Amino acid sequence: MPDIQALVSDLASKLRKRRVQGSYETARLTAELLCAVILQHKEPTTNGAASLIEAVRRVGEQLIAANPVELAVGNIVRHVLHIIREEDLSPLTDIVGELKLSAEDDVEDIAEDENSQKSSATTDGCLLKPPLLLAVFEHLPDSATACQTFSSENIFAGKGKKLKSELIKAVNELIEDINTCREGIAEQAMELIHQNEVILTLGHSKFVKEFLCAAKEKKRSFEVFIADGAPKFEGHILAKELDKKGLKAIVITDSAVFAMISRVNMVIVGVHAVMANGGVIAPAGLHVLALAAKKHDVPFVVVASTHELCSLYPHNLEVLLNEMRCPSELLNFEEFSDCIDYGIASSSSLLHVVNPAFDYVPPELISLFVTDIGGYSPSYIYRLIADYYSSEDLPPQQKPAS
């Protein structure tokens, strides 16, 4: 068994050095790491859940500090914390429900029953059950805290072990979810893309690609405009991939979106993160596209998975959550080295290059979110977030980012 701390610092250093990028990848790695943390966590005899929460939070803080821009890390950490709280409460509620009538053995039986129940529920591919439970408690904060104090004094010696196995199962489901979220999103393609439509997208998003391909596989025929922008020119990659799938694609520059938008039926884009107010953080250039779509009343659809749901609000966004990337993506250093010259007394270098990675698109410009658990409008995002994360986890997690 590798040392947990080594694993944590390994992922943290990867995040720090920007060697792991993209919300999907970071989410998956974080979830796997947290799974290992839970697995190796040494259970104290009492108050297992609280110490586990503490351990996960500590790891989470390290990872978030490593690269605050990758919001998916925080999302997963908070989600796992939420799962722990849920799991901690759920056997208890059962017990409260049964009014402690049964002995220890019976409790185990009950828990096992519940396991089977749950696994059957999750095979249906939805995680809706725990959120619902939480919703119950959120309306009853007093009872929730009461339950917690009760749990801390709990007398079930076997509970810790069971809690852990429950948790492992739940986190594994989460990992499974992350791995399959693309299919979940792609399933809804048929409902949104219609025959002979013209779709516009920007850059390269794996979700969008899967989404389009899913529609194509179901024999829908449509056309895709790919707005391709400097500095990354990721649209080239998408164009190639769509060509392989036999989809008709037209590449335009991202500065030409206003010219082309009148011919477009729908805009579909992928994003970096979905904020709590329903706005999104997305690759630079998306705001222009969103404005163009708004101007011409073209539906602006964002495909996002649940791990991109972020419980933060975009306050002072430009400074806090943007990543300034390398200027050499924009300018060839060699060509401009005489302009970027600090060694000459008369002119302190006048030429500077700023290369922000992200844009913020406000919720007013977004028509629909397509997630792996269904379609939502921007105004509903805060509800999803309440379902996915516990309110207790929000303040301490927000601290490193503010």
Partner 1 sequence: MGAQKKRAAAAAAAARVSEDPDDLARQPLQAILLADSFTTKFRPITLERPKVLLPLVNVPMINYTLAWLEAAGVAEVFVFCCAHSKQVIDYLENSEWFSQPNFTVKTIESHNIISAGDALRLIYEQNVIHGDFVLISGDTVSNMSLTQALQEHKERKKKDNNAVMTMIIKKSKPSPITRQSRLGTDELFMAIDPNTKQLLYYEDKADHSKGTICLDKMLLAENPSISLHNDKQDCYIDICSPEVLSLFTDNFDYQHLRRHFVKGLLLDDIMGYKIFTHEIHSSYAARIDNYRSYDIVSKDIIQRWTYPYVPDVKFCGNRATKLERRGMYRALEIEQSRSAQVGSFTVIGYGTKIGSNSKISDSVIGEGCTIGSNVLIEGSYIWDNVIIEDGCELRHVIVCDGVIMKAGAVLKPGVVLSFKVVIGERFVVPAYSKVSLLQQPTVHDSDEELEYADNSSGTVEFSCTADQSNGEMTSESSEAHKPKLGTGGVGYIWSICEGGQEEEWRHSVAPIPEDKLTELSEAMDDDQELVTQDRTALSTSGELISDSNASEGDDNEDSKDDSVYFEKEVEATFLRAVEENVKVDHVILEVNSLRLSYNMTSADCAGAVFYSMMKLAIKTPHSSAIGLLTLYPSPFSMVASNAYPIYLSGELQQNTANIITTWQKLLKSYLLEIDEEIEIILKFEEMCLESAKEFSPLFARILHILYDKDILQEDAILRWADEKEGADESDKVFVRQSEKFIQWLREASEEED
| Residues that bind partner 1 in the complex, under the rule CB under 8 A | 6, 10, 13, 16-19, 65-66, 318-319, 324-329, 332-334, 337-338, 340-346, 348-349, 352-353, 355
CB of 338 to partner 1, least distance (A): 5
For partner 1, which is the closer residue by CB, 146 or 324? Answer: 324
Q: From CA 250, how far away is CA 159, in angstroms rounded? A: 59
Q: Which is nearer to partner 1, 183 or 329 (CB)?
A: 329
Which CB sits closer to partner 1, 16 or 220?
A: 16
Distances from the Cα of 157 to the Cα of 44, 101, 202, 203, angstroms:
10, 17, 55, 54
Least distance (Å) from partner 1 to the CB of residue 292?
27
Closer of 72 and 95 to partner 1 (Cβ): 72
Shortest distance in whole angstroms from residue 385 CB to partner 1: 26
Task: Give the residue with the Cβ less far from partner 1, 262 or 349.
Answer: 349
Residue 265 in contact with residue 199, Cβ under 8 Å? yes
User: Helices (DSSP H) in 187-234: which residue ranges?
Assistant: 189-192, 206-217
Q: How far is the CB of 365 from partner 1 (least distance, A)?
A: 24
Which amino acid does the sequence have at 214?
Answer: A
Least distance in angstroms from the C-beta of 324 to partner 1: 6
- Residue 68 or 375: which CB sits closer to partner 1? 68
185/374 Cα distance (integer angstroms): 8
- Of the two residues 64 and 269, which places its CB atom closer to partner 1 in the complex? 64
Angle of helix 129-139 relative to helix 71-98, nearest 10 degrees, comes to 70
Select from 91, 168, 60 the least CA-distant residue to 394: 60
In the sheet that 273-274 helps form, which strands lie side by side, from edge to edge?
Answer: 273-274, 280-283, 358-361
Identify the three-state secondary structure at position 154: coil
Q: How far is the CB of 92 from partner 1 (least distance, A)?
A: 39
Please name the residues in contact with 289: beta carbons below 8 A apart, sequence gap of 6 or more: 200, 202, 227, 254, 257, 267, 269, 300
39/340 with CB nearer partner 1 = 340
Q: How far apart are CA 275 and CA 401, in angstroms?
A: 14
Q: How far is the CB of 334 from partner 1 (least distance, A)?
A: 4
User: Rounded distance, CA 109 to CA 192, Å?
Assistant: 45
Q: Which is nearer to partner 1, 343 or 395 (CB)?
A: 343
Provide the minimum distance between the beta carbon of 325 and partner 1 in the complex, in angstroms, as a whole number. Answer: 6
Token pair recorded at residue 329: 């993506």
Rounded distance between C-alpha atoms, residue 160 and residue 64, angstroms: 28
Complete DSSP assignment for 261-277: GGG-SEEEEE-SEE-TT
- Measured distance CA(294)–CA(300) in Å, rounded: 8
Whose Cβ is closer to partner 1: residue 69's or residue 381's? 69
Q: How far is the CB of 309 from partner 1 (least distance, A)?
A: 25
Give exposure, 1-36, as e/b (b: 16+ Cβ within 10 Å): eeebeebbeebbebbeeeebeebbebbbbbbbbbbb
Minimum CB separation of residue 14 from partner 1 in Å reads: 10
The whole-angstrom separation of Cα 322 and Cα 302 is 20
